[in-house]
Structure 1
């Protein structure tokens, strides 16, 4: 029987503090998808007439120095454009709901991240690496 002495006890490794900005990859991917959908929807809206339904518009009004901008008549949206808009809108709602209800935010609260700190973490996700479709550094690389 061996009577070797046990190895000396080692001090426990320091626990890494919780970082609410260390977002899981799936959450980053979901935020990126939401940002891409938002950009796609914004691009579609930019080329569509201002009114979804046909509208006669209204004239510009200047009354005692106050001005109210007018609007030209709108032919309304083409049915294909309306369907594309509705599809993008629904996908955007689903993507943002996934981001807003992701389990990471509960994990943050479980680690004491609340109030302004939780809001700051949610805001940081919007510019986190991998969560943004195109970053400033990407523009220089692409050029």
Structure 2
């Protein structure tokens, strides 16, 4: 004969802790970090390959191995370097906020550790509302 759980036990099972039930502030911070990362990558893609002036180097093929060359770079204009530094600082602050958010302590307090905690942190990166442009956004716009 099986014992039926008490109402307290049943409600405790129903309310099991879900490490993927991220708080809205954490979702917003992850989205901001993702937006800043995309912005910095786009900004950087239009800049010369070297921040400082550099003479570059020739392409080399040696004993069957190839090393790609680089053309000379005039470096980044001071205004672009300052804008990049500002974006990078904002990105580092946003990432630090996400990484040190109190949610991760709450997860550990509920026994989420090791690979499960890593999985929760990874899931945050693609959780609803954390990705700047999702498939649904594209479908709604089309």
On whether the aligned pair clears a TM of 0.5, the verdict is yes
Find the counterpart in structure 1 of residue 122 from structure 2: 123
State which of 7, 32, 51 in structure 2 corresponds to 1:11.
7
**How far does residue 48 in structure 1 lie from its aligned partner after superposition?**
0.5
Please tell me whether residue 74 in structure 1 is matched to residue 70 in structure 2: no
Find the counterpart in structure 2 of residue 31 from structure 1: 30
Runs of 5+ consecutive residues of structure 2 not aligned to the other structure: 1-5
CA radius of gyration, larger in: 1
Stretches of 4+ moved more than 4 A in 1? Answer: none
Find the counterpart in structure 2 of residue 22 from structure 1: 21
CA deviations 1:80-114 (Å, max 9, x no partner) are 11011000000000000000000000000000000
Distance 1:51 1:119 in 2: 35
Report how many residues are paired.
134
Please tell me whether residue 96 in structure 1 is matched to residue 92 in structure 2: no
Distance 1:68 1:18 in 2: 52
